[in-house]
Structure 1
Amino acid sequence: MSRSVLITGGNRGIGLAIARRFADAGDRVAVTYRSGEPPEGLFAVRCDVTDSEQVDQAFKQVENQHGPVEVLIANAGITKDQLLMRMSEDDFTTVLDTNLTGAFRLAKRASRGMLRAKKGRVVLVSSAVALRGESGQANYAASKAGLVGFARSMARELGSRGITFNLVAPGLTETAMSEQLSEEQRENLKSQIPLGRLARPEEIAAAVAFLASDAASYITGAVVPVDGGAGMGH
């Protein structure tokens, strides 16, 4: 059956690949975007996940267009990489506000309809960095690691109401962000990945789609790494 699906940060990269995957499966897909242009062929609403009022308004628009959100994919995120001694407090808190507190705002708002329906799927996009750490990314790693504790707490809190919370932890992926790396940086990072290449956004989308499917109805509180083996053992 066609479901109402909301993907945040769905206008490019991993988020857009996830949106296309659900749309191709026949779901009613909505995406949020903060900047840039909305993607063609998808219902898009502008939303900054650091603003609770904007989050609420985005949900209202999606609910009016597609009905209550049944599947939430919290993908919106930012980076402000810097070594600790050079990282400002604003660099740290801004990343956490978007990546972690943003997911809290989204899940809290989505839970209204899911609790009434007594079912729902929430998938949070974490990162391999959350599990293994990375120099210069203390803020990003902390925000993405925080998602694990948040999702597992929600899995316990809302599991009895038929709502699952899971995470994917992508490794370095072929997106506009990774294209900003120098060739030397890319080769160095690839050397740390057992499969010897970066992920394709569609590979992340496949894992997200599985966790949101009926096939994963008995999976909750799980972290699924999609990182080519880079984070093994974490």
Structure 2
Amino acid sequence: MQPRASSATPPLRALVTGGASGIGAATAQRLREDGVEVLTADLAAGADFSVDVSDEQSVAALAAACGPVDILVNSAGIIGPNAPVLDTDLASWRKTFAVNADGVFLMCRAFAPGMVERGWGRIVNLASIAAKDGNAGMAAYSSSKAAVIALTKSIGKELAPTGVLVNAVAPAAIETPMNATTDPAVLARSQAMTPMQRFGTAAEIAELIAWLCSDRVSFSTGAVYDASGGRATY
């Protein structure tokens, strides 16, 4: 483990995308409870910074405005089209990947170098159990979140010697505003597949993320942590 230098070291500084609501907002609150200084970024109102994570220039402007961070939580994401693969248009497919996969890539590329330079950092990327299972009617979302898992594993390996740990969290269906646009049939199927027979809460996911953002995690990188109420099978 590469702990912080001393008790005189300033508080850790975190940036949470998608931080205006849902898992992002719950994570920001939970990290503040640990004494972390938290900045939020989102296209929605209420965040500290406005950012389109799918746009390279918007991410660059965010990096310049907020400065270095020790913790990056990539929670921004969209559901994308609720449609069979054969009825999914290319523009919707690309938009889903642009936000969910390109956004993680651009944010990591912008903020990880500073962490490497300082010799300590934590990056947590939000994937989904859909990345492993593949949800019928949500191929774009499932595929983009699978890309997040592969990207996390690649970056985790690349940064493993640097003191910067990169992990992913794969929730099942969670009670968040984002799922308000999800096909109710898809949500019902997800709940039926969950042994706990309920949706998770944003606070439950935030608890796991907070742990992954801490010094308490020291020998795990490039890993995927399921939060699925027992649904995950691998």
Q: TM-score, normalised on structure 2?
A: 0.91
Partner of 1:7: 16
Structure 1 position 48, deviation (Å): 0.2
1:119 and 2:154 matched: no
1:212 and 2:229 matched: no
Seen in structure 2, the aligned counterparts of structure 1 residues 55 and 181 have a Cα distance that, compared at 3 Å, is: closer
Deviations, residues 112-145 of structure 1 (Å, cap 9, x unaligned): 2112101111100000000111001111111101
Structure 1 position 181, deviation (Å): 5.7
Cα distance in 2 for partners of 1:143, 1:55 equals 19
Deviations, residues 161-210 of structure 1 (Å, cap 9, x unaligned): 11111000011001123345677665443221100110010000011011
Which of 54, 65, 73 in structure 2 is aligned with 1:50?
54
Q: Secondary structure at the match of 1:216?
A: coil
Count of matched residue positions in the alignment of Structure 1 and Structure 2: 224
1:77 and 2:77 matched: yes
Q: What percent identity do the matched residue pairs reach?
A: 29
- Code of the residue aligned with 2:59 in structure 1: it is V
Q: Identify unmatched segments of 5+ residues in structure 2.
A: 1-9
Matches within 5 A, 1:57-76: 57-63=61-67, 68-76=68-76
Q: Secondary structure at the match of 1:165?
A: strand
Deviations, residues 76-106 of structure 1 (Å, cap 9, x unaligned): 1112222111100111111111100110000
Structure 1 position 49, deviation (Å): 0.6
CA RMSD, 1 decimal = 1.6
Cα distance in 2 for partners of 1:145, 1:181 equals 18
Cα distance in 2 for partners of 1:10, 1:204 equals 14
8 Å Cα contact 2:79-2:179 kept in structure 1: no
Matches within 5 A, 1:1-234: 2-35=11-44, 37-39=45-47, 44-63=48-67, 68-81=68-81, 82-180=83-181, 186-231=187-232, 233-234=233-234
Cα distance in 1 for partners of 2:216, 2:168 equals 16
Q: Identify unmatched segments of 5+ residues in structure 1.
A: none
Cα distance in 2 for partners of 1:149, 1:182 equals 26
Q: Which moved more, 1:172-181 or 1:70-79?
A: 172-181
Q: TM-score, normalised on structure 1?
A: 0.91
Cα distance in 2 for partners of 1:96, 1:181 equals 17
Q: Which moved more, 1:173-182 or 1:214-223?
A: 173-182
- Code of the residue aligned with 2:77 in structure 1: it is G
Deviations, residues 4-47 of structure 1 (Å, cap 9, x unaligned): 10000100011100011011211110011113x215xxxx1000
